[in-house]
Amino acid sequence: MTQTPGKLQVDDKAVDLPVRAGTIGPSVVDIGKMYAQTGMFTYDPGFTSTASCESKITYIDGDEGVLLYRGYPIEQLAEHGDFLESCYLLLYGELPTKAQKAEFDYTVTRHTMVHEQMARFFAGFRRDAHPMAVMTGVVGALSAFYHDSTDISDPNQRMVASIRLISKMPTLAAMAYKYTIGQPFVYPKNELDFTSNFLRMCFAVPCEEYKVNPVLSRALDRIFILHADHEQNASTSTVRLAGSSGANPFACIAAGIACLWGPAHGGANEAALKMLAEIGTVDRIPEYVKRAKDKSDPFRLMGFGHRVYKNYDPRAKIMQKTCHEVLSEMGIKDDPLLDVAVELERIALSDEYFIEKKLYPNVDFYSGITLKALGFPVSMFTVLFAVARTVGWISQWKEMIEDPSQRIGRPRQLYTGYDKRDYGPISER
């Protein structure tokens, strides 16, 4: 929907810039023709005021703490549905009927195995390699095995690649974990649901039957729902930019994994747990809050703050509830890390600095405690985030490829380097 154009006046140049409104949320000023009309670029490193695309998948209202997947509130999806239902919703745009859900579950389940030769990749890594390093490598390597779903111009191949990625990420993630602990890989079992299958591939050993705890499986499934998509975050933007060149979907998802690994992004769940462990006891919290506020100290409260949420991250509330469920199911009466997290949250939320900068706990603040209680090592936390976010990445990639106005992403710059100068011989330098 086009609104009254905006006007831009720079020196003697005045241009009309079309304004477009979305369904909900901020309108956009379309600056696509601005360089041609003014000879100037816009400048927005970090993209704090820039919409990179049009999308129908996920909506976030940062001031109200709202997160919608295809219009459905995250609280309702997490409460009533399972992860594969949210995958179907993100991919196809509508909640599945009973028959559609059964068919989708069947299809995903039967793509969970990986080519047997992929197992050899793992042997090339050191046993102490970070699982995210392994995942970046092996997911990119999928394009060396599944050539029949790399033609991005073919809608069927795009869908096959999407299903393969959603289905095989848990298998590869479990293999990455097993490899680091020196245990044999466990094959997927078709009789199990997505998340139970993943838990079994991670924690089963050949010497005895592994019984899935339904409470823990439900909790992890809900955690996957919370992490499934989040509009144009850094890793999704990476996937979109990689995909805009026509790169195959497996390579694009590997690029997303690499970006997610950063501690400012998906790596924050690992960093947040390490921070809580470093703080150790409640009495040391003020020292760390002081450091977080000190501009000369690079320390930040990991799991706090967000580019979009200037209110409580709705996922963090659900995560906190899930954390208590898992701790109680595991019979963990008092987890010192949880005590530190709850007290740190209380102190931070009443501190002027955090209030003024609107810094609240984000999805990563309580997830680490929960994942640790589920039995995962800290190094696997971001891998679990990647398992869940794969559906968001591939849904956004598919939306971009299917957008008729899609073209390669190629930002410009403000150049502040040397003007033209001549080369001189080394003898004169």
Q: Which residues bind ligand SDX (CB under 6 A)?
A: 46, 230, 233, 264-266, 268, 292, 300-308, 357, 359, 362-364
Q: Reduced to 3 states, what is the DSSP secondary structure of residue 69?
A: strand
Q: Is 306 a catalytic residue?
A: yes
- Asked if 237 and 92 count as a contact pair (C-beta separation under 8 A), the reply is no
DSSP H helical segments within 46-193, as ranges? Answer: 74-80, 83-92, 98-109, 119-123, 131-141, 155-181
Nearest to 368 by CA among 284, 275, 305: 275
Kindly tell me which of 114 and 302 has the beta carbon lying closer to ligand SDX.
302
Q: Which of 364, 403, 419, 422 is catalytic?
A: 364
- In whole angstroms, what is the distance from residue 106 CA to residue 254 CA? 25
Q: Shortest approach of ligand SDX to residue 334 CB, angstroms?
A: 25
Q: Shortest approach of ligand SDX to residue 330 CB, angstroms?
A: 25
Q: Shortest approach of ligand SDX to residue 400 CB, angstroms?
A: 17
Q: Shortest approach of ligand SDX to residue 118 CB, angstroms?
A: 27
Kindly tell me which of 166 and 292 has the beta carbon lying closer to ligand SDX.
292
Kindly tell me which of 330 and 342 has the beta carbon lying closer to ligand SDX.
342
Q: Which of 130, 306, 351, 419 is catalytic?
A: 306
- In whole angstroms, what is the distance from residue 132 CA to residue 87 CA? 22
Q: Is 227 a catalytic residue?
A: no
- In whole angstroms, what is the distance from residue 166 CA to residue 106 CA? 13
Q: Shortest approach of ligand SDX to residue 54 CB, angstroms?
A: 18
- Asked if 369 and 338 count as a contact pair (C-beta separation under 8 A), the reply is yes
Cα 274 from chain centre: 20
Q: Shortest approach of ligand SDX to residue 321 CB, angstroms?
A: 18
Kindly tell me which of 141 and 388 has the beta carbon lying closer to ligand SDX.
388
Cα 386 from chain centre: 6
Q: DSSP labels for 253-294?
A: HHHHHHHHTSTTTTTHHHHHHHHHHHH-SGGGHHHHHHHHH-
Residue nearest to ligand SDX (CB): 305
Kindly tell me which of 114 and 268 has the beta carbon lying closer to ligand SDX.
268
- In whole angstroms, what is the distance from residue 375 CA to residue 340 CA? 20
- Asked if 294 and 300 count as a contact pair (C-beta separation under 8 A), the reply is no
Kindly tell me which of 241 and 359 has the beta carbon lying closer to ligand SDX.
359
For the annotated catalytic residues, the residue numbers are 306, 364
